[in-house]
Amino acid sequence: MLATLIVGLLHVTMPWDPPPPPPEGAKLVLTQPPFPDPPPEGSVIDVPGERELPANWRSSTRANPKTKGNAGLDALMASGSGQFCRDQLYAVQQELRGRRVAVIDLREEPHTFLNGAAISWGPPALGGDDRRAPAVERIERAWTKRLVDAKFTTATEYAPGIFANEKTWEPIALKLDVRDAGVESHLVAEARWGYFRIAAPDTIVPRDRDVDRLIALVRGLDEGLWLHFHCDTGGNRTTLFLTLYDMMRNYARASRPEIIARQRRLGGIDLLAGPGKAGRADFLARFFDYCWQCGPHFRRSWSSWSRKNAAR
């Protein structure tokens, strides 16, 4: 019986085991920059890009602090966008020059950079729906190494719209002679910026543990640090977490409707529209209450507070 138990344990995946290779159904999806049209024949050494700000870029400094409902926004020191490629990160560096910055990567889906292009593995549900940040990062490092070792790969899809909506992907055959590759944390480190991962699914209401992760980050932030949030398009997740961050910083200066509205005015989505709007409105109301009860130090986690204060 002991021998059977030992054999069984050998098949258990341990944290130090290398992640398995991408499943057979996995696709390499080019996220940024837009692919050449038509795709060039043969091997592409570098994916062409432009040093422009990434999609749905917005910054808290672009809002007029004198506008009604903008109280505290000028001091928030935060920005948001969709996924950037290497050249677009250079543009963000120029926009935020002179600041100490940390990039908050909200993407749950594994992604990496090949020759400066932002590449994702799809479909979005690849790897399950209960992924935590350390596990996703391990997968990214292992799968990126496989691409480097192979020295050559093909992006089979292009995501011009919402990455999570597989129907919007355009089929391509963009061949890449892999000259350089690295996960996002490495690219950000080259800019001498900080990096923090919240592997959040693209859902109406975020998981409690992802909200806890944001709160733990904010609780330990150095004064004067600028936060740049991004997901795939800069829409749902970026707007939601920017709004939560704004509430944590400015709950005593602005009302809940004002904070939600100004994040939409900056360039985010309307969090109170579309499917699931009632559930999201309830979540945002409860989180605003949490900020009033637990701020400004937020020593109590959201999940702990939420269990004691059930949904309305």
Q: Which CATH architecture is the domain 28-35+46-305 placed in?
A: Alpha-Beta Complex (3.90)
- Degrees to nearest 5, angle at CA 169 with 178 and 22: 50
Identify residue 55 by its one-letter amino acid code: A
Report pLDDT digits (tens) over 6-60: 333 344 445 557 788 898 889 999 999 887 776 666 556 566 677 899 999 999 9
For the chain, the domains span 28-35+46-305
Strand ranges (E), the chain: 27-32, 43-44, 58-59, 78-81, 100-107, 111-114, 117-122, 152-158, 170-177, 181-182, 194-200, 225-230
**CA–CA separation, 268 and 253 (whole Å):** 21
pLDDT at 162: 84
Which tens digit of pLDDT belongs to each residue from 239-251?
999 999 999 999 9
pLDDT at residue number 312: 54
> In the chain, which stretches have pLDDT less than 50?
1-13
Task: Kindly calculate the radius of gyration of the chain based on its CA atoms and give it in whole angstroms.
Answer: 21
Smallest Cα–Cα separation from 267: which of 30, 64, 81, 37? 81
User: DSSP letter string over 79-134?
Assistant: EEES---HHHHHHHHHHTTTSEEEEEEEE-S-EEEETTEEEEEESTTTT-S---HH
Alpha helices, DSSP H, located in 151-176: none
| Three-state secondary-structure class, residue 192 | coil
pLDDT given at position 292: 98
CA nearest neighbour of 185 among 104, 255, 247: 104
Give me the pLDDT at residue 42, please: 59
The structure tokens 């950000």 sit at 188
How far is it, in rounded angstroms, from Cα 75 to Cα 114? 36
Q: Which token pair is 183? A: 């996960």
